[in-house]
Structure 1
């Protein structure tokens, strides 16, 4: 699935959102390491990411060839500042209509509209892939993200009070959200 779109952000900053490709592997891994170190709201810690550059490149090549999955990168001044992905919940026919969505952005780029651009791009890609439902989980205390998803049309359908167990803050409640496409 192909995606590429350029938009101007506040202050005239140009943002490119496009498919991640194999040559992005190292930069994407480095960005993921940083984003996962900058917030306690993401699924994993930096030391839990055990994929090397070669494995990441192969994974990106596979995703790039996929008709129903996508990994997007947000680029400012030639630098990857965030990423988002859409992936099938499972390959079984009963759940083939459902996809998962995840996103992360470097902290110094929060509040610029990048999250909304990546979210909108991911929704577009999920529709193109033929999904009829896009799902995500978000830490309840992450008010900025919850607000972003609600503005994009996601609705809460449940909560898990012990969804994450943070090394620093204990249990974190997860909000399950979905968007009908």
Structure 2
């Protein structure tokens, strides 16, 4: 699915959020690899589950054609600085929900980019008959958890000792959901 391009301004930065297009694939491959090395808040370590340019081209094509998927990019000065995806499911029993994921370059944290990617995804979901958005978040990511709660997400469960981080300790993953009433 595609959305109309939106302009945002926060903390002195102007950026655009728009649907991903084929020509973004190479940059998305590079930025995902970089972001995976900047934070332990994601599922992957840098280089794991690597997606190359053709892989991103396929994801973008699939998401553009599928009414239950949405792939967004945040662009600042012609450079992608973050992206998000909502991935739906073709199974009838699960077709009412999508799973949300987001990544933003660390250099651009605190400028509302992740928040606006999520808000655009929520608006798209609400306008397109998606009843539920789910996401997973590491228990130590307090800012994200606070944001998700402000935007209507509730804790639905905890996956105990779900991730082992660089310090060798195990951490919980919090499962959250937002149901459109």
Whether TM exceeds 0.5 here: the answer is yes
Q: Could you give the per-residue CA deviations for residues 53-107 of structure 1, whole angstroms, max 9, x where no partner exists?
A: 122112212211221101100111111010111011x322111111100001000
Q: TM-score, normalised by structure 1?
A: 0.93
Between the aligned partners of 2:90 and 2:78, the Cα distance in structure 1 is 35
Structure 1: which 4+ aligned runs deviate by more than 2 Å? 165-170
Partner of 1:74: 74
Between the aligned partners of 1:105 and 1:52, the Cα distance in structure 2 is 18
Equivalent runs, 1:23-172 vs 2, <5 Å? 23-88=23-88, 90-172=89-171
- Gap runs ≥5 in structure 1: none
Between the aligned partners of 2:168 and 2:117, the Cα distance in structure 1 is 28
Number of residue pairs the alignment of both structures matches: 179
Q: TM-score, normalised by structure 2?
A: 0.93
In the TM superposition, residue 130 of structure 1 has moved relative to its aligned partner by 1.5
Between the aligned partners of 2:166 and 2:90, the Cα distance in structure 1 is 33
Decide whether the 8 Å contact of 1:158 with 1:176 is kept in 2: yes
In the TM superposition, residue 167 of structure 1 has moved relative to its aligned partner by 4.0
- Gap runs ≥5 in structure 2: none
Between the aligned partners of 2:60 and 2:22, the Cα distance in structure 1 is 5
Q: Which has the higher helix share?
A: 1
Partner of 2:22: 22
Alignment partner of 1:111: what SS? coil
In the TM superposition, residue 44 of structure 1 has moved relative to its aligned partner by 1.1
